[in-house]
Amino acid sequence: MAGLHRLLALLALALGTVAVSVADKTKDADLRSPTCPDPQDISPCVCTVDVQHNMDIDCSQVESEDQLAQVFSSNIPFPKFNKLVIEGNPHLTVLRNGDLGPASFQIIEMTSGVLEEVQDGALSMSYSTATRIDLQVNRLSKFPFHEIPSFTALTTLWLNLNSLSEFPLITSDSLTDIGLSVNFFGDIPLNGFQGVKNVNSIGCNNDITTIVPEEGV
């Protein structure tokens, strides 16, 4: 009987050691530096990590919205990126909801392309992480401005040189820099800046002809 008790005690000790080992490995995995996905999984996008462990992904060479979605539906061990870059792309006209999968970004740069629309929820995984959204020099006419309050860390929103037909009413407690120059809107409502009380700089170098009162005023 004593032998049986001793055997059970040794078994319990061994199981406990295994559990601690597994927990330690899980903890170590959470703390290790970010590593890029397999290049073959995300091609034609290219991922890089700098000495500060900032992980950037450049998807300038994607040929369609479906290909972009395929990249971000692949195996991405660390979906928290520092920067997304899509520059000079002649194919992407819509950033669709779900195309970026589970990935989040601090900086989103989609510039000098043919982007016309950002769908509702397309950037929702970056609500708490995005500090700068730069969509300059596109054909953007549709953007979910009603989601801006959800971007709690966003300080910079640059939409210069686009095709916005109306001045957007933006609400944000974090924005400090807004760029709306060279768009198609020709007037600014009187309450146009009331929702961005912490902003330091607003670029509106357009053919502004009137500042119109709010409806009912």
What does the pLDDT look like over 161-172, one tens digit per residue?
999 999 999 999
- Angle at alpha carbon of residue 46, lines to 100 and 145, rounded to 5°: 30
Of 58, 142, 133, which is closest to residue 93 (Cα–Cα)?
A: 142
Architecture of the structural domain at 40-212: Alpha-Beta Horseshoe (3.80)
Of 75, 13, 8, 89, which is closest to residue 47 (Cα–Cα)?
A: 75
Q: What is the pLDDT of residues 73-103, one digit of tens each?
A: 999 999 999 999 999 999 999 999 999 999 9
Query: What's the whole-number mean pLDDT along residues 106-110?
Result: 98
Q: What is the mean pLDDT of the chain?
A: 86
Residue 9 scores a pLDDT above 80: no
> Strand 80-87 and strand 117-118: pairing?
unpaired
The answer to whether 34 and 59 have CB atoms below 8 angstroms apart is no
Q: What is the pLDDT of residues 137-155, one digit of tens each?
A: 999 999 999 999 999 999 9
Residues in the chain: 217
Residue 23 scores a pLDDT above 50: no
* Confidence label for 19 from pLDDT (cuts 50, 70 and 90): very low
Percent of the chain whose pLDDT exceeds 90: 70
Who has greater pLDDT, 33 or 198? Answer: 198
Domain residue spans of the chain: 40-212
Residue 208 scores a pLDDT above 60: no
Of 138, 68, 134, which is closest to residue 106 (Cα–Cα)?
A: 134
Q: Which residues contact 191 (CB under 8 A, 6 or more apart)?
A: 169, 214
State the pLDDT at residue 192. Answer: 80
